[in-house]
Amino acid sequence: EAQVTQNPRYLITVTGKKLTVTCSQNMNHEYMSWYRQDPGLGLRQIYYSMNVEVTDKGDVPEGYKVSRKEKRNFPLILESPSPNQTSLYFCASSSSPGQSYEQYFGPGTRLTVT
Amino acid sequence: TQLLEQSPQFLSIQEGENLTVYCNSSSVFSSLQWYRQEPGEGPVLLVTVVTGGEVKKLKRLTFQFGDARKDSSLHITAAQPGDTGLYLCAGADDTGGFKTIFGAGTRLFVKA
């Protein structure tokens, strides 16, 4: 089954404790992206990757890191989480069908930073 | 900074009514997608529009991309309770990258 998986689905942590949210896709997609979703703000892009070892900032990259060492994986790293990073996070992947950029989303990771 | 303004933010209607959701921007997009999101799940793609003026139909849903590729609309005919959900529009950056801008969403509730 074609899918994007994220782990963990729920995470409660404390300020400053480094964490990683994993994302994996089995569709051989070149493009991957991380978003955060907050009430009233929709989804905001954090980082995206257009291929292995190619990453770029989205609209809200501060406080986050990513890496793309393999095509299927795109982990999101919070080196020193803060309460304002409490949010619902989604990973997405896309093939490169010209201009369409249709994205397939994972189930989400709900992060609470206390 | 590119922005996509989506309206209305919330819509509560009776079964059988028609509705239109709008997505507007001052920026040009290479394509625009509409997604639907259920509680506790990720957004699911409904349609992509690419060409200015393009109209696509998906059963009772009609999607239109503006001629200048700056705006889009979603029209639902004879809404049903199963249409309840959060509808999101998303624009793909026109500069060749993978930057994507989402609207804030329209939460639709269709009462039986």
What pLDDT shows up at residue B98? 77
What pLDDT shows up at residue B76? 97
CA atoms of B109 and B7, how far apart (whole Å): 14
Instruction: State percent of chain A over pLDDT 90.
Output: 83
**Whether the predicted pLDDT of A107 surpasses 70:** yes
What pLDDT shows up at residue B93? 74
Q: Do the Cβ atoms of B98 and A33 come within 8 Å?
A: yes
Question: How many residues does this entry show for chain B?
Answer: 112
B4, B30, B98, best to mutate vs chain A, most A CBs in 10 Å: B98
pLDDT tens by residue, B53-107? 999 999 999 999 999 999 999 999 999 999 999 999 998 876 666 788 999 999 9
A103, A104, A109, best to mutate vs chain B, most B CBs in 10 Å: A103
Q: Which chain A residues have a beta carbon less than 8 Å from that of B50?
A: 99-100
- Which chain B residue has its CA at the smallest distance from A57's CA? B99
* Residue A78: closest CA among A4, A8, A3, A25: A8
What pLDDT shows up at residue A42? 87
Mean pLDDT of chain A: 93
Mean pLDDT of chain B: 92
For chain B, say whether A43 makes contact (Cβ under 8 Å): yes
Task: Say if residues A18 and A11 touch (Cβ distance below 8 Å).
Answer: no
CA atoms of A55 and A99, how far apart (whole Å): 19
CB atoms within 10 A of CB B91: 27
pLDDT tens by residue, A55-89? 999 999 999 999 999 999 999 999 999 999 999 99
What pLDDT shows up at residue A96? 67
Cβ-proximal residues to A29 (8 Å cutoff; 6+ apart), any chain: A71, A93, A94, A95, A104
Read off the DSSP letter of residue B83.
G
pLDDT tens by residue, B6-55? 999 999 999 999 999 999 998 888 889 999 999 889 999 999 998 999 99
